[in-house]
Amino acid sequence: MSNSAVLQKETSKIHQEVIEANNKYVSEFGKKGELALPPARSFTILTCMDARLDPAKYAGLSEGDAHVIRNAGGRASDDAIRSLIISHKLLGTKEFFVIHHSDCGMELFNDQIIRNLLAKSLKTATVDANGWRNLEESGGSDEAKYIPFLTFENLEKSVVDDVKRIRNHPLIPKDIPVYGYFYDVKTGKLVEVQEATKIGRAS
């Protein structure tokens, strides 16, 4: 890659907007530098990376309040559980929320679909009435066969499954309640998945 290509990437419109936004944030930072390392409200949210979700707004968070773990689907992956363990064991959180959401992209494909796409191309794919397809097919990799993408077909069941996995994990104490919800992207409401919350009750 040439230096000019790197320079162009580093000075993209998005890059500039992020730096400008950060400069404004710094100018208004105030006493946030004095916040303690452990989250003040002692809880953790595991939720999706979807850009429509803002945990600070839907859960009423300010900087320093809570841990927020995000990944595709808000799934209780090995890495998410690693973070939950650290959150509790070393930083004192006492309650966990699993929050998935309606209209989630993780319902639109499965492991075999994404593995087939990646095997033929690393470029962004597209979807239409005939399903997912690559716009060009070159430079793919079979490495995706080693990754569990944790897709799902049923929203509420995915919340139940993740709460159950956290609840049954030998490194998660039984006295931590694990609540199960999904976020409705049409209304902003958190909807409780009662079966999940029952499973996640502290004992």
48 annotated among ligand-binding-site residues: yes
Question: With contact defined as beta carbons under 8 Å apart, do 143 and 165 qualify?
Answer: no
Question: With contact defined as beta carbons under 8 Å apart, do 91 and 37 qualify?
Answer: yes
Question: With contact defined as beta carbons under 8 Å apart, do 151 and 72 qualify?
Answer: no
Backbone angles phi, psi at 45, to 5 degrees: -115, 130
Tell me, what amino acid is at 131? G
65 annotated among ligand-binding-site residues: no
101 annotated among ligand-binding-site residues: yes
Distance in angstroms (rounded) separating the CA atoms of residues 57 and 15: 24
103 annotated among ligand-binding-site residues: no
Distance in angstroms (rounded) separating the CA atoms of residues 159 and 53: 16
Numbered residues of the known binding site: 48, 50, 101, 104
Numbered residues of the known binding site for Zn(2+): 48, 50, 101, 104
